Amino acid sequence: MSFTVALVGRPNVGKSTLFNRLAGKKLALVDDTPGVTRDWRSAPARVGGLSFTVVDTAGLEDVTDDSLEARMRRQTERALERADVALFIVDARTGITPLDRHFAALLRKSKTPVILVANKAEGKVGMTGLYEAFELGLGDPLALSAEHGEGMADLVQALLPYAPPEPEAAEKASAPVKGEGEEELPVGDQPETDEERARPIQIAIVGRPNVGKSTLLNALIGEERVLTGPEAGMTRDAISVDWEWRGRKFRLVDTAGMRRRARVDAKVEKLAVADALRVVRMAQVVLLVVDANQILDKQDLTIARTVVEEGRALVIALNKWDAVDDRAMALRQVEDKLQAALAQIKGVEVVTISALQGKKLDTLLDSILSTYGQWNRRIPTAQLNRWIEGVLDHHPPPLVEGRRVKIRYATQVKARPPTVALFVNKPLDLPESYQRYLIAHLRETFDLPGVPVRLLLRKQKNPYADD
């Protein structure tokens, strides 16, 4: 069992820095600019033997209208309601501000227990602000430095009363120990087992700004989990949400909109785009969301090529389909652009949806599962060798300096994505054009649409040659 700790406070007091410190990873974007964090995000934390879920939230603003700041505040309040305990963070260097006093008064009325934390309290500079924090009426403040890791032992002691009781020793003794009785195999090198099937499928939702990525995530899970609105570039941090559909677990990750590199000037946006690319590299399926009224422009295709180069499975969602007038023409444009720009990965699943109206989301998820299954495919060695024999009979490799390259046999060495090793006598002499032909033929023969297929050339060792 675990419990949830929410980090709240006005902008730029160090919530995201503390979040990264507790999570043990640089997951949240950190910058001196106030208001970098907009959506709340969570991560498992373990500090001083204490395990819990830590939630980073947007900075609290004293606004209640329909502005972006007000919507951020409502998201923070929603996260606060779900938490077991809140850390109200103030800046010890700056001292207590009227905004701190305002939200301290609100937190005193909250049902969620509150622990007062004076961050940036290292050195003599923060002592004045630390003493001022007593006036907030939230108990004795904890002196902390999230950036330098000072005061973490005191924080653990303050959180201990909210931790659930430890399981009985007998339960611990009977729990299976990882690694006993079976060998842990590398992920991706074996067919999907029942254990792997129980793990969530990692899905990264990517695309240009304002194409409806966050709206799609909210529509899938059925709640306002991330901020949406007409403002472009609203999402900054990559927000991960665990979800289940038809008995299958998913981990959906909403990412910042990725514009062309030449147009990205602000430091925070550069950090957000770098975070989105990190999510792509960690994903299993990448869902590229495209505005159906601006179909597959240059940046969309650049993102798609990046996904393929990283070896991830790709599914394209044409969002805002309800606003398209000539749908037949739009689908032809998609087909033509994919054929011209992504010829190396034919058969990419393209699904027309409306995230705002919740249309065809089941079809989209079916396509994701189908593509994920292809990405996990393993082909028996015997079938691969029958395939390569047929290829060599009908279309052998071209002659190189009057001699033909000999392909001995083929075997699949990895899944995720499907990777086939060819053992040849002269790997460096097999032309790239012939390698592309083999990949296309392999994809067609074994029905592997929409996923990258990799070919590795290896030289068979001569048992009679000296090492």
Query: What spatial distance separates the first Cα and last Cα of the chain, rounded to whole Å?
Result: 56
Express the helix, strand and coil content of the chain in percent, nearest 5 each.
35, 20, 40
SS3 290: strand
List the binding residues for GTP: 9-16, 56-60, 119-122, 207-214, 254-258, 319-322
Record the tokens describing residue 424, joined without a space.
């040849």
Can you name the residues that pair with 316 across neighbouring β-strands?
288, 350
Separation in Å, CA 106 to CA 93, 136, 138, 158, 162: 23, 11, 11, 21, 21
Strand ranges (E), 238-391? 239-245, 248-254, 285-291, 313-319, 349-352
Letter for the amino acid at 327? R
Decide if 212 contacts 320 (C-beta within 8 A). yes
Closest by alpha carbon to 112, among 87, 139, 85, 136? 85
Helices (H), 194-297: 194-198, 213-221, 267-282
Closest by alpha carbon to 215, among 237, 243, 234? 234
Q: Which residues contact 118 (CB under 8 A, 6 or more apart)?
A: 90, 91, 92, 126, 129, 130, 133, 141, 142, 143, 144
Consecutive H or E run containing 443: helix 432-445
Decide if 55 contacts 83 (C-beta within 8 A). yes
Closest by alpha carbon to 424, among 434, 438, 437, 410? 410
Record the tokens describing residue 459, joined without a space.
């030289």
SS3 207: coil
Letter for the amino acid at 72? M
Helices (H), 222-326: 267-282, 298-309
SS3 342: coil
List the binding residues: 9-16, 56-60, 119-122, 207-214, 254-258, 319-322
Letter for the amino acid at 193? T
